[in-house]
Amino acid sequence: MMSERRQTGLWTLAWSRFRRHRMALAGVVVLAAVVGAVAGAPLITHDDPTALDPDHSLAPPSAAHPLGTDDLGRDEFARVLYGGRISLLVGTTAMLVGTAIGVTLGSVAGYMGGWTDTAVMRLVDLVLSFPAIFLLLILLNWTGGRAPVLMMVGYLGLFGWTGLARIVRAEYLSLRSREFVEDARAAGAGTPRIIFRHILPNAMGPILVQAAFAVAGAMLAEAALDFLGFGLPPGIPTWGNLMTQAENYMTSNPVLVIAPGLVVTFTVVAVFFIGDALRDALDVRSR
Amino acid sequence: MTAYVARRAAQAVVLLVAVSFVSYAIMSAAPGGPLAVYLHNPEVTPDKIDLLRHQLGLDRPWYARYVAWLGGLAEGHWGYSYYTGRPVLDMIGERLPATLTLMAAAFTLALGLSFPIGLYAATHKYRWGDNLLSFGSFFAWAMPTFWFGLMLQLLFGVQLRLLPVAGMHEIGVTSAGDLLRHLVMPAMVLGLGSIASWSRYLRSSLLDTLNQDYVRTAHAKGLPDSRVLRRHVLRNSLMPIVTLMGLDLPALFSGAVVTESIFGWPGMGRLFLSALNNRDYPLQMAGLMISAALLIAGNLLADLAYAALDPRIRYQ
């Protein structure tokens, strides 16, 4: 009962601090609008993002096509909405993969110490010594320079866990000698239970903050890979692919490249503001 | 300190070899391999493919090729391109100057802009100018780099016709002014992230220093504000940001891959991309090794700088 009340207290306090950040509240509104529009795409537009209409290609914005049409006459507004599903999904799942790896390795290293810690930290050093883009491109070249969605998620996750592992390890180093951990150990809790049930909830602050920035980073990375021709297959309307394909029609129909870019930028800025406020609200030591 | 430097330098070399080994293994494990393009070409008989495979050494296992490649690299031989047959070192020599020019331009631009911005923000803390700048830096980080490049092309190249959209020179023109005109947009795109992070970092570093006792003392002595800022504040805020700048060099090299693709800049980044498409292993490894060396050397120098400042680190 006591611990239950203290839990609520912590999150209420965090919310009251979060609320003070007006830009972060605006970020929540923007992000909710983007996620809502993308998830409810069929309710907002009746256009099929893949329906071809060559007679009306490269049409400027109009009532029928709020953002015009692309070179094959496909409705750009529908493509931005449906494309957002893939982009947000890739960003979020890549974050989940990276977070799972980072939390597992970081917490085990920090709690166990000794050679486990040394081995994990050396691994982090090694991964950080790889020039990420170059190795990522070599990996993507395996499948001819284009990767299926799941593979892309895995690759981005593989490169996005090192920072989190370091942060989680540091948290565990300071938490492992606290009384509640001693209590749990004395009560006979096993090591995995102590690591994931007792300590993990106390390390959630930095993990959440890091996760927010990881979503943004993965989305930007995926878009950049699309542009280089090493992203998701061109048939999938991601935000990155939309901008890349619109490059050739920049002079004839600039809205095709402007619109998806603005959507990406505002989505990522919203995530940044939220992450920044979370850092303050959850009292994460900034370095 | 000498022992520490020697130990860290040795570690860096080991790390670089480890990176090259893993990368070589991943690259070689790719299905198809460099000869896949010829398999469906009726002009190329199986005999010719076997001959080519033997000539390129691809009939040997990958670890044997890796050992030979590493041995050659240790003696300064980067191998021959699978695709053009020319020495890799020659091909890099033609492309690296363009990338270095671009990186230097981006670095100079970032240096020139981030200091005034950081200084202004720190001395106008939480006023509207500072808030606007911090807002702007979030946008700078949030924009997809290539989209920012396309927007600059659209505005300055297509609409205003002020700057050339792509390339490094007009054909037949080699003047410095022409090069500068071609450099403006690529340097801006490549340098934007650094401008944002350096100026934010400088701002917080300056704010830390401004609260120090010796700054209050300097003011109390009656020194003019500008002198306090230059001699007491800026000088003590510089060390951390110099480290950050060093660590950003490999990021500029990586960023050049995207920037060069936007602006058709004839540098290493585009050479690497074409090496990927051609499955040109020696050339791919060259691009990867240069960026890995930059990355590891940058980390090493940052560590050494910290160790030079803080003797406790050396004995860990």
Helix A114-128 crosses helix A76-112 at what angle (to 10 degrees)? 150
pLDDT digits (tens, 9 = 90+) for B44-64: 788 888 888 888 888 888 999
Residue B284 has its nearest CB partner, among A130, A138, A265, at A138
pLDDT-derived band at A151, boundaries 50, 70, 90: very high
Q: Is B296 touching A (CB cutoff 8 A)?
A: yes
**Which pLDDT belongs to residue B315?**
61
What average pLDDT does range A174-192 have in this prediction?
A: 91
Quote the radius of gyration of chain B (alpha carbons, Å).
24
CB atoms within 10 A of CB A232: 23
Look at chain B and count its residues: 316
Of A213, A127, A134, A130, nearest in space to A162 by CA: A127
ipTM of the complex: 0.91
Residue of A20, A128, A130 to mutate, interface with B, max B Cβ within 10 Å: A130
Using CA coordinates, name the residue in chain A closest to B27.
A138
Using CA coordinates, name the residue in chain B closest to A229.
B273
Are the C-beta atoms of B91 and B283 separated by less than 8 Å? yes
Which residues have C-beta within 8 Å of that of residue B70, sequence separation ≥ 6?
B17, B20
**Which pLDDT belongs to residue A287?**
36
What average pLDDT does range B94-109 have in this prediction?
A: 96
Q: Is B261 touching A (CB cutoff 8 A)?
A: yes
Which of the residue ranges A41-45, A209-213, B300-304 would you say has the lowest mean pLDDT? B300-304
- Do residue A261 and residue B150 have CB atoms under 8 angstroms apart? yes
Q: Is A204 touching B (CB cutoff 8 A)?
A: no
Cβ contacts of A261 on chain B, cutoff 8 Å: 143-144, 147, 150-151
- Do residue A224 and residue B146 have CB atoms under 8 angstroms apart? yes
Residue A224 has its nearest CB partner, among B154, B258, B299, at B258
DSSP tag of A203: G
Question: Exposure string (b/e) for B61-81, b if CB count within 10 Å is 16 or more?
Answer: ebeebbeebeeebeeeebbbb
Query: How far B1 CA lies from chain A's nearest CA (Å)?
Result: 22
Residue A272 has its nearest CB partner, among B138, B146, B299, at B138
- Torsion sign, CA atoms B77, B267, A224, B140: positive
**Which pLDDT belongs to residue A1?**
41
| Bridge partners (DSSP) listed for residue A69 | A75
Which residue type sits at A48?
A: D
pTM: 0.91
SS3 A69: strand
Question: Rounded to an integer, what distance in angstroms lies between the CA atom of residue B273 and that of residue B287?
Answer: 10
